[in-house]
Amino acid sequence: MWQGLTDETRDRQALFDIAVRDWIAGYALKQGTIHCGKGCHACCSLAVNCTFTEALAVSGALADRHAAPLADHVAKIRAAAFAAPDFPSFLRARRALGGCPFLDDDGACGVYGRRPFSCRALLSTRESRWCGADFSTLSRGEKRAFVESLDQTVAAFPMHYVKATQDLGQEFESHAAGRMAETFGFSLYGNLPVLVFLEREHRLSETASGGIDAVRELVARAGCNHPFLVTFSP
């Protein structure tokens, strides 16, 4: 069952990439610039969420060199989630943890071909330094200048990422979640490294056939039963 779902997701990721390339080409014709490129990884300190099907595909592509960084990162992010009084606090704590555990030493994504829709959809209309900026440290004038510099016809205001590709990514995510729900009676969504860890260390995909209660129990045993880390639907 999972093979069919992951194959379908990979096919849809290929279609998504074509749509993104077409969008970038159209934006370039309007003299617009997307500042993303290989080794540009400031956005990789952001919290990344995805469907479990996408995480399963990442798990299958993960190299052994990423196992230790993954386990270390999940331990830290789990602690951050349970310590955070609210979601914004969790996001700040996540950024403080540094880069994604799937980054290689040269700053390139080690699972680039299998990265989830949320990563594929994140296109920056400003220089990479803004992707890693802590806006809470900026002066009022700096914040105003940043906002005024944005192309509000394109950006997901008040941030500088492209809205159209993010909206499309959410559509593809919803489809993947729906297909899992059709197959297993529930869908699973959450933090990418946490979901990959649950698959690699606890074989979550094998437990899914036992239903939502069995998966909830597994997630609880792994210490990841927190809404900032894993959510279920229905």
Per-residue pLDDT tens digits for 82-114? 999 999 999 999 999 989 999 998 889 999 999
- Whether the per-residue pLDDT at 39 is higher than 80: the answer is no
What percent of the chain clears pLDDT 70, i.e. is strictly above it? Answer: 100
Examine residue 137 and state whether it is found in any structural domain, yes or no. Answer: no
Q: Determine contact, residues 125/151, Cβ cutoff 8 Å.
A: yes
Q: Average pLDDT, stretch 63-82?
A: 95
Examine residue 162 and state whether it is found in any structural domain, yes or no. Answer: no
Q: Average pLDDT, stretch 56-84?
A: 95
- Spatial CA neighbour of 121 closest among 151, 156, 86, 87: 156
Examine residue 127 and state whether it is found in any structural domain, yes or no. Answer: no
**Over the chain, what is the mean pLDDT?**
95
Examine residue 138 and state whether it is found in any structural domain, yes or no. Answer: no
Higher pLDDT, 197 or 41: 197
- Whether the per-residue pLDDT at 158 is higher than 80: the answer is yes
What whole-number distance in Å separates Cα of residue 216 and Cα of residue 230?
A: 10
Examine residue 58 and state whether it is found in any structural domain, yes or no. Answer: yes
Q: Average pLDDT, stretch 65-70?
A: 93
What whole-number distance in Å separates Cα of residue 172 and Cα of residue 15?
A: 10
Question: Which of the four pLDDT bands, split at 50, 70 and 90, describes residue 230?
Answer: very high
| Token pair in block for residue 95 | 């950024």
Examine residue 54 and state whether it is found in any structural domain, yes or no. Answer: yes
Question: Which of the four pLDDT bands, split at 50, 70 and 90, describes residue 134?
Answer: confident
| Token pair in block for residue 138 | 């900026």
Examine residue 155 and state whether it is found in any structural domain, yes or no. Answer: no
In the block, which residue shows the tokens 């005024």? 148
In the block, which residue shows the tokens 């997701």? 9
- Domains identified in the chain, total number: 1
Amino acid 201: pLDDT: 96
Amino acid 107: pLDDT: 85
For the question of whether the overall pTM of this predicted structure is more than 0.85, the answer is yes
Amino acid 38: pLDDT: 80
Q: Average pLDDT, stretch 179-184?
A: 98
Question: Which of the four pLDDT bands, split at 50, 70 and 90, describes residue 223?
Answer: very high
Pairing of β 230-233 and β 49-51? unpaired
Examine residue 148 and state whether it is found in any structural domain, yes or no. Answer: no
Amino acid 25: pLDDT: 97
What whole-number distance in Å separates Cα of residue 227 and Cα of residue 87?
A: 10
Question: Which of the four pLDDT bands, split at 50, 70 and 90, describes residue 188?
Answer: very high
C-alpha pair distances (Å), 201 with each of 56, 77, 154, 180: 12, 16, 41, 21
Domain of 94 in residue numbering reads as 2-122+170-233
Amino acid 56: pLDDT: 98
Q: How many CB atoms lie within 10 A of CB 104?
A: 15
- Whether the per-residue pLDDT at 119 is higher than 90: the answer is yes
